[in-house]
Every structure is written in C-alpha cells, then in structure tokens.
Structure 1
Amino acid sequence: MIEWSRQGQAHSAPWRSESGAPAPRRVITADDTLPADAAYRLACEGTGLLWTGDFQNARMLLQAMARRADRKARPSRKNAAPAPAGAKGPEALAQAFHLHRQAQGQRARVLSAVLIPLEGDYSIALRRAPDLRQACTEAWGAATGERCVVSLRELLGLVGAHEWRKKGVEIAALGAAPRNRIHPHYGVFSPVRGEYVDLVAQAPLPATTLAFDIGVGTGVLSALLARRGVQKVVATDQDPRALACAADNLQRLGVADRVQLLQTDLFPEGRAPLVVCNPPWVPARASSPIERAVYDEGSGMLRGFLTGLVAHLEPGGEGWLILSDLAEHLGLRPRAQLLEWIAQAGLRVVARHDIKPRHGKAVDAADPLHAARAAEVTSLWRLAAA
C-alpha cells in the first residue's frame, strides 16, 4: 500500500508496479511548485512524490529529472578515471556491461519516484490529464473499481505500448502492405530488429509439413513460416500476453487457421521436421517481467532448447536457433561455451547464416556498449542430430 497525508488527512491506495518495484517507503504530495532540483534530490533519497498538480507539468518535471540523471551518469572527460591496463579483455567488458545495467537500474528507480493516483476506472483526476483508460485496459485488463497509485514513468510506458499496438511494425519479409504489420501488445517484445526475421525468411526450409515455433512472442515467425508455405505451425509460449498478442496478429495476417497456439514451457509434444527458437540473447538477470524477452539468466531458455531439441526433431529435421553474439562481445558467454552445449546436446551444425544488425545503437558511438554493439552479428544456426 501507498500511504500519504494531505491537508492533515491520511490517505492510502494499493501500489501497482508492472516491473515488480517495491513501493516507496516514504511518500509526500507534490505539485507544480516543486522545483526539479528538489524533486531529483528527494527521488535520489528514495522519497515518492505523489502528484496533485497539473498532469502535463508532471511530465515536464519527469523530463527535467531525466536530464539531471543523465548528466550525473555521464562524467566529464577531464574527471574520467584512466582505463586500467588490459581493460579490453572479456572481464573488463563484462564489468562494463554490469555497471551499465546498474546505472540503468538506478536511473529507473529515481525516475519512478513521480507517482500518479488512478481512479477505479483508470481515469486520472488531475488537471490536463489525458484519457489513458484504453491503454491501461490493454495492459492490465478490465478496471476493478479500486483506486491505485502507479509510477508516471511506467504509465507513460503503457501509452507508448498502446501507440505501437495501434500503429504496428512493418515487416518487409511478410510481403506487401498493408498485410505485413505486426502489432505488439504491452509486455511483448516488438520485432523492431528485423534482421533476425530476414534470416528466417531466407534460410532453406527442410520441409513444409510442420514446424514448431518455441517462444512465439508476437507471432511474427509463425506468420512468416505460414507465409512461406508451412502447412501447420505449433507455437508455444509461457506468457498469456504473448499468446494473446500472437493470436491477434495471426488473425490480422490471415494465417490463424495454420497456427496452433499452446501455453507451455518450450516444446509441445511430438516431433517436427523444423523447430525454430529465438531465445533472449543476453545471459543476465531480468529486472522486470518485460525484460525477460531480452535477458535469459544463466542462458536457461537457450540451454533448454538445445537439450530438448533432438527429442523433438523428426529424422533428417533441423532446429533453427536464432541468436546474436552480443553476449560474446560483452564477455558474458564465449563462443566455445555455445559450441560445447550444442555438442553435449547431441547436435551438429549443418550451416550458419549471419547478418549484421541495422538498429540505431549499432552505429551510436555515444552508447556505453558501442564497441560490442558495433561488432555484433546475428546468426541462424541450422542444427541437426549428430
């Protein structure tokens, strides 16, 4: 629960956090008179700022706090510590990654201090507040009638996800517009990095009778396989949001009749001549449920796919592993480790198809992980029983 006092009266409401962040231990009311410097200082101390003023001013305050957080995280060249000898090795790269993640987490905690009260129907009783009820309903389900308090930063994330869902992401490999757009739902990783989709679009199919899509997400790879002529795709995921998102997209694209969706961990029962998996690429702990599409602690999904693949391949079948080597360039998982897991699983590499990323961070020299991102290659590993 969030508890606060206003005009001598005590108030409370349930705390809602999609990321699982704990509620602030201390909460004060804040309005348009609060300077950005004071707000930032209070947020750094762990104080929650329950907003009672103009909603648009709260957004401006959040932007001002973000600028201060970014300035603090960006030390001047004059005061920067010299790099230690041999700082380009894997251990130094891994340390840089973990420090970057730590800084991201601290920034998120500070910027999550601006709090917004939501009414029981998801409306916001603040001046100049937009109507965000549809965005909240898409993310959280129907309103329960109970008031709650949320982070403004997280609330704006819902708005961004709502806009992506309306607009969709154009996937050239799916064919001509307008039937080539994927509409990601809140909490489901958007296929904005289209290079991995291109790999699946170009690799030679071992058969067109049946395919398994492990970790369906938005449904983009299942749709692509169906468009390529695969007669039936069995697609799995553990996340109900992903399954609902995939069902929506497959229906929009006109291929729902050829894709069966199952809520299960990794593999469905049986065997297929083609089994496709695009697991999270970075072996690190996710700090929120949404990050599980990017971070795979201990390479759990990757290893689970490799270990179980032989038992789910038809004779002569192939398993397609779509994986970036970013973890290798960050010193988090060496190539030798991946090859060892492949061999231990009773698999051999039939072929590997590579592609360079096209996203903006690959060419952004200001990115803290630029050296690793610039060297990154995404691969489709075609695997078969040894």
Structure 2
Amino acid sequence: MTQTDDSIPQLAWQSGDVRHTLRWHSEAGNPPPKRVVEADDQIPADTAYKLACEGTGLLWRGDFQNARLLLQALGRRIDRARERAEAKKKGAPASPDAAQPGHAFHHQRQMQAQRARILGMLLIPFEPGFSVPLRRAPDVQAACREAYGEALAGEAFAASLRELQGLIGAHEWRKKGVAIAALDGAIHPYYGVFSPVRGEYVDLVAQAPLPSTELAFDIGVGSGVLSAVLARRGVRKIVATDTDPRALACAAENLTALAVRKQVELKQADLFPEGRAPVIVCNPPWLPARPSSPIEHAVYDPDSRMLLGFLNGLAQHLAPGGEGWLIMSDFAEHLGLRPRGMLAGAIAGAGLEVAGRHDIKPRHGKAADRDDPLHAARSKETTTLWRLKARA
C-alpha cells in the first residue's frame, strides 16, 4: 500500500517481514502507485509489464542499466498492444467521431497518457544528495539539482525512471543549448521551461517592423529568447513577466550570457506588469487543452486562459499608437480544438483591431512526417505574428 504522511506522498511496501516506507516525488504531480513491490534483474519483462499495467510500482533494486533495458522492453510491449488494438479497429465499423478533426489529437493524447502511466511504474530510489544506490548508476546529482532544487537534496526518495531520464535529457539540453540564428547565439533552457526549438516564431519577432525602441513588455518570458531578440534589435528597456520562478531564473541566465541582461527587467507576474508600453509581445501556448506535465504548460492553454487574458488586457496596457504582437499558430483550428473565427472574434471583443500580420510556415521535422497521426493538420499549419492596435 501507499500512504500519505503529513501531506508528503509516501511509498510503502513489504519485503519479507519488514515494512518499508520511502518518500515519493513526481514533478508532474502524479500520485504514487497504490501498490509497490521490489524488483531486480531477475524479473521477466512480461511479468513487469503485467504488474505495471495493473498499476503496481516496481521499485528497482538491480542494475541501473538493466532497468533502462526493461523500460525499453515495456515500451515495446505497449506499442505491440496498441498495434493489435488498431488492427482490430480496422475491421470494425468506424466511430462517427473518427471523422472529426480533433479525433486523432485526442486519441494520440490518450495513448500518450496511457504509455506514460505504464512506464511511470518503474521506480528508482535516491539517497540523500541525489545519489542512486544501484549498480552502474550514473551520476545524476547535477541534473537532479537543476530540476528539483535543494529541497529534496537532504532526503531519500523515489521517482520514476522515466522522469529521471527526462531530467538527464534536460540537463544535456541545458549544457548544449539551442542555437538561435536571430541571436547568433544559443538559449540554454531549464528543465520545465519551453525550449525554443521551433525557430520560425523567433524569426517573426526578429523581422516585424518595430513601432518603437523605447520600451517593450514580454508577456510570458520563458527562456528569455524573445526578450533577447528585442534587446538585440535595439529596444532600450524590456519588462518581462512570468509566473514561474524557474522560467525567470532561466531567462536571467540566458540574458546575462547574451550580454543583454541590463536591458531587461524580470518580474514575477500573471500577464501584464504595471503601466503601458508601445510594444507588447506575447507567445501564449497554442493549443487549448489541459497540460499533464510541467513542460506542457508552454504548449497547452486550458480554455485559452492566457490567450484571452492577453487580448482582454492589451488595450489598457498599450501606449498611444502602440502595438501588441500576438504570436499564434493555427494548428488548433486545423485540429478542430479552436473554432475558426474565434480568434478574430476575441480580438474584436477586446476592443482591438489588426494593423498587420506576418505569416511563416513551420520548419520542424514533424511538418513533413507523413507517418505522424496529426500530419494532415500539421501540413496546413501557419504561424502568425498578429500586430494588434487599440480600436479608435
């Protein structure tokens, strides 16, 4: 059984006659498995898969590299099970919903959630200081400190191997960085902060005509990439906001490395800072759906909250003659997640008008991948920088 002690999630399991407990941690906020058993190199992959599908957590006691191999084996079994289910569907009458544009999206999200749940059942123990007490375990202390901070450093706990792999991958991205042509430099994203790997929206901000270089607001600064672009374009002062302290720290580090930190004031705020500006930039999440992990908050905007919040507050924060730059993809419209005409209606309803628009087609690999279940929508996608003004 799993229990909660003083609101701290705990794993609890029996080993022989001894009952053990261990703190549980999930950056995505996933609850701990309700049942936990110890597992090692001797467990057959089929047995592990059956237990994981039933919701039983496998607390690993064997070789770390063998745990990685087992996770891959679980992934293959998930894929085979999905392929069998899809083959059965081909012989059955098609669901009326299958013809809807968003059906493939929701189906893919459902499959991803199921896959994440099953793979998340393979658990790794951590000792204080973020050391992993398993044979052939890598040194993950730096990756864990970057993602978890010092709050967990003094405790023993358990987390899923899948999450740990995400931390390690984010650590490598942070070291390597993402090359940004418009900056002639790189952005180093933190774990949980959106990585600007889709450079087309950055190019839009780098090329659109600036109505002023005195002051700009950057709403939802994230990694700091758009603030850096504005600073390099000669904007003297940028006030950049975000609700996430991790994003603000990430932006500060990137702006410092790019030698534009003095031009940017970072503030923790929900949407707008106080005052007015002649340029206000916002690149909200593009899809109106619910995020299921920290990184997805930069992709999914439930009920279009950030989009509508930006539009509805823009007029009262624009300086006379100023422009609000809204960067949006129409991917949601092609998926049927956002009604066509909704954005135009929201712009008009907020007392705004379109002064101009700049379009660009996506360059990422999925746009040309015909095997992608969402290819039909991706192939039609356009990213737009909407130049908005307060209606006279």
Q: Hey, what does 1:119 align to over in structure 2?
A: 127
* CA offsets 1:109-143 (integer angstroms, 9 cap, x no match): 00000000100111011000001011000111124
Q: Hey, what does 1:30 align to over in structure 2?
A: 39
Unaligned runs of 5+ in 1: none
Q: Hey, what does 2:235 align to over in structure 1?
A: 230
Q: Hey, what does 1:55 align to over in structure 2?
A: 64
Change (3 A) 1:261 1:94: same
Residue type matched to 2:123 in 1?
A: L
Deviation at 1:236, TM superposition (A): 0.2
TM-score normalised by length of structure 2: 0.94
Counterpart CA distance in 1 for 2:68 and 2:339 is 43
Counterpart CA distance in 2 for 1:309 and 1:332 is 24
Counterpart CA distance in 1 for 2:377 and 2:325 is 24
RMSD: 1.3
Counterpart CA distance in 1 for 2:347 and 2:12 is 53
Residue type matched to 2:218 in 1?
A: D
CA contact (8 A) 2:98 2:104 kept: no
Are 1:130 and 2:138 matched, yes or no? yes
* CA offsets 1:302-324 (integer angstroms, 9 cap, x no match): 00000000000011100000001
Unaligned runs of 5+ in 2: 1-9
Match of 2:365 among 355, 360, 364: 360
Deviation at 1:290, TM superposition (A): 2.5
Deviation at 1:72, TM superposition (A): 2.0
SS at match of 2:169: helix
Residue type matched to 1:285 in 2?
A: R
* CA offsets 1:27-50 (integer angstroms, 9 cap, x no match): 000001111111111111100000
Counterpart CA distance in 1 for 2:303 and 2:212 is 32
Match of 2:330 among 325, 328, 332: 325
Q: How does 1:69-218 map to 2 (within 5 A)?
A: 69-75=78-84, 80=90, 81=92, 83=94, 87-88=98-99, 92-142=100-150, 143-175=152-184, 180-218=185-223
Residue type matched to 1:229 in 2?
A: G
SS at match of 1:335: coil
Counterpart CA distance in 2 for 1:155 and 1:337 is 40
Counterpart CA distance in 2 for 1:93 and 1:77 is 21
TM-score normalised by length of structure 1: 0.96
Residue type matched to 1:44 in 2?
A: C
Deviation at 1:103, TM superposition (A): 1.1
Is 359-368 or 3-12 further displaced after alignment? Answer: 3-12
Q: Hey, what does 2:314 align to over in structure 1?
A: 309
Residue type matched to 1:129 in 2?
A: A
Deviation at 1:84, TM superposition (A): 5.2
Are 1:263 and 2:272 matched, yes or no? no
CA contact (8 A) 2:39 2:61 kept: yes
Q: Hey, what does 2:3 align to over in structure 1?
A: none
Counterpart CA distance in 2 for 1:298 and 1:359 is 26
Are 1:13 and 2:22 matched, yes or no? yes
Is 4-13 or 332-341 further displaced after alignment? Answer: 4-13
Q: Hey, what does 1:254 align to over in structure 2?
A: 259
Counterpart CA distance in 1 for 2:88 and 2:158 is 42
Deviation at 1:6, TM superposition (A): 2.3
Are 1:384 and 2:375 matched, yes or no? no
SS at match of 2:241: strand
Counterpart CA distance in 2 for 1:22 and 1:86 is 31
Change (3 A) 1:9 1:253: same
CA contact (8 A) 2:97 2:103 kept: no
Q: Hey, what does 2:4 align to over in structure 1?
A: none
Counterpart CA distance in 2 for 1:34 and 1:87 is 39
Deviation at 1:209, TM superposition (A): 0.4
Change (3 A) 1:380 1:74: farther
Q: Hey, what does 1:66 align to over in structure 2?
A: 75
* CA offsets 1:142-171 (integer angstroms, 9 cap, x no match): 244210010000011000000000000000
Deviation at 1:69, TM superposition (A): 1.1
Counterpart CA distance in 1 for 2:253 and 2:93 is 52
Deviation at 1:374, TM superposition (A): 1.3
Match of 1:39 among 9, 27, 48: 48
Deviation at 1:336, TM superposition (A): 0.5
SS at match of 2:104: helix
Is 136-145 or 13-22 further displaced after alignment? Answer: 136-145
* CA offsets 1:45-85 (integer angstroms, 9 cap, x no match): 10000000000000010011111112222345575245457
